Structure 1
Amino acid sequence: MIAGIASPASAITHGSVDQSDHPEVGALIGDKVQSDGTWAYCTGTLISPTVFLTAAHCGGEGQKTARVSFASHYKDGDKVYTGRYIPDSRHMDKSDSYDMAVVVFSAPVPGIKPARLPSLGLLDRFKDDGTLKTMRFTPVGYGSLDPVKRAHKWRFHYTDTRSRTSISFKRLTGRWLELSPNSSRGEGGTCYGDSGGPNYLGGSDSDLLVATTISGVDDGCKSTNVNYRLDTASARQFLGWFVTLP
């Protein structure tokens, strides 16, 4: 997630530990520990036995490989899978357009069922028939938990733990799915570290991945989340190089 469409994404806010509900959601693991003792820096989803989808802005310049953990709470020494890191070649560093990347593993990840991808124009069809506005979504990620503002600065807390929350529909555009927490329902959103992670259509048991976390409109991760649609022809053009699409 990029706060204000400008900085990398964070973690689930006002959510709960995901544990074993979405084992296909994993964390990108750094080569060295960060200053706060954590390792995860972005989130993603297994979309085939050998393909892990994340965000292009999660990668560094010239990055060729990435390490992924599917542990619900990552600890140093836990199993990681290393694969080729391939960003969408249309993505530019200062733009959110085409913000997709995959990690391709040389062998299937065992024991994990991949998430399902949407058919072409799925969200448009729900918008046209009037049902999209009442739908709820489930974001999942390893990002910062419930930021706190102190001395005019936001402070973020990371735990390398997979969490989830529920969030409501706000707006659909040609490229973006905007979602916004409804406080009366106890909903939350995404924050720094959730970038590249899934937004599932439906409740916590859904495996239909319709958009990936890219950005937000506030530094405190309390407002609208901006997510990259996966049901568009443009997104499917990239995904189709790596997986069979519905």
Structure 2
Amino acid sequence: MNLRATLFATALVAALTTAASPAWAITYGSPDGNTHPEVGALIVDQAYSDGSWAYCSGTLIAPTVFVTAAHCGDPGQTTARVSFASRYRAGDTLYVGRYVPDPAYNKAQSDPHDIAVVVFDKPVRGITPARLPSAGLLDRLGADGSLRTATFTSAGYGSLAPVNGPGGKTYTYTDTRNQASGSFNALTGTWLRLSQNPATGDGGTCYGDSGGPDFLGGRDSDLLVATTITGDTACRATNVDYRLDTASARQFLGRFVALP
């Protein structure tokens, strides 16, 4: 495990000690370029030996509001720095804001409150925020069968697909915004599960993409229906995502943005 993965393990120990393992990176995808300029990276204060800076992902949902995962923050954290560069480099513009996790978050992997926002003092100019879903959208699509054939697009700044080698897997970080398409797996009251199995043509998330978006639709979609939370350690099977159309998510987000 490299230094960035160690940073995640230290900051997110509550998540790592549960039954499922966290999934934080785009796998079997491609560079996003400027397709989703509203997707940004949370930036650490210093670089590590692999040259990496981004440690989690998220999405602009209003000119002053950026949504991510609560487990991307440290205890007592009050501010966060965000870059919207398609590939982050030292010196790129950073937007500093107030980091606000859901107060009900209790650091459990299955916690239905693993959501946070970064609230900027000034609007982010030149970037159109993503659209949020209406209440119960995924339930309605599940009821009419649409979810079974739906495409979902994940985006984030995390590791590329891990490579097997002596001593285990190697994770590669480029601080580049990537995207991948996955297919529907399952829906619960809190979670959206997506297939990211490359054997079926799917891609998804891995280390570094926590808090990043899952858009309903193809590569150009801006309809943000869930955020990446966890998955399998090999980043090859399932992307487990926090639904944003539930009453719990909407109660929290409604404190900061107007909801559809």
Q: TM-score w.r.t. structure 2 length?
A: 0.90
Instruction: Write the mapping of 1:17-32 to structure 2, written as runs, cut at 5 A.
Output: 17-32=31-46
Instruction: Give the secondary-structure state (helix, strand or coil) at the position aligned to 1:125.
Output: helix
Residue in structure 2 matched with residue 67 of structure 1 by the alignment: 81
Q: State the Cα distance separating 1:30 from its structure 2 match.
A: 0.4
Deviation at 1:193, TM superposition (A): 0.3
Q: CA deviation at 1:181?
A: 2.4
Give SS of 1:165's match: strand
Aligned position for 1:240: 254
In structure 2, which of residues 208, 223, 226 is the aligned counterpart of residue 193 of structure 1? 208
Deviation per residue, 1:57-96 (Å, 9 max, x gap): 0001100000000000000000000000000011112334
Q: Which residue of 2 aligns with 1:205?
A: 220
Cα offset, 1:6, TM superposition = 5.0
Pairs within 5 Å for 1:109-124: 109-124=124-139
Aligned equivalent of 1:148: 163
Helix, strand or coil: the match of 2:193? strand
Structure 2 partner of 1:167:
182
User: 2: CA distance between counterparts of 1:8 and 1:67?
Assistant: 22
Q: CA deviation at 1:150?
A: 2.0
C-alpha contact (below 8 Å) 1:9/1:143 kept by paired residues: no
- SS at the partner of 1:31? coil
Aligned pairs (5 A) from 1:21-60: 21-60=35-74
Distance in 1 separating the partners of 2:57 and 2:31 = 15
Query: Which runs of no fewer than 5 residues in structure 2 stay unpaired?
Result: 1-7, 9-14
Within the candidate set 145, 148, 173, 1:133 is matched to 148
Unaligned ranges ≥5, structure 1 = none
- For residue 127 of structure 1, give the secondary structure of its aligned residue in structure 2: helix
The 3 A distance-change label for structure 1 pair 152 and 219 is: farther
Letter in 1 for 2:181: S
Q: CA deviation at 1:183?
A: 3.4
Structure 1 residue 179 and structure 2 residue 194: aligned? yes
Please list the CA deviations of residues 144-198 of structure 1 after superposition, one character each: whole Å capped at 9, or x if unmatched: 0010122352221100000000000000000000000253553211000000000
Indicate the SS of the match to 1:166.
strand
The whole-number CA distance in structure 2 between the counterparts of 1:212 and 1:67 is 19
The answer to whether the Cα contact below 8 Å between 2:69 and 2:115 also exists between their aligned partners in 1 is yes
Q: Which residue of 1 aligns with 2:119?
A: 104
Amino acid at match of 2:212: G
Which secondary structure does the structure 2 equivalent of 1:66 belong to?
strand
Q: Distance in 2 between matches of 1:5 and 1:112?
A: 38
Indicate conservation of the 8 Å contact 1:200/1:206, yes or no: yes
The CA deviation at 1:230 is 0.3
Q: Alignment RMSD, CA only?
A: 1.6
How many aligned residue pairs are there?
245
Could you tell me whether the CA contact under 8 Å between 2:80 and 2:97 is conserved in 1? yes
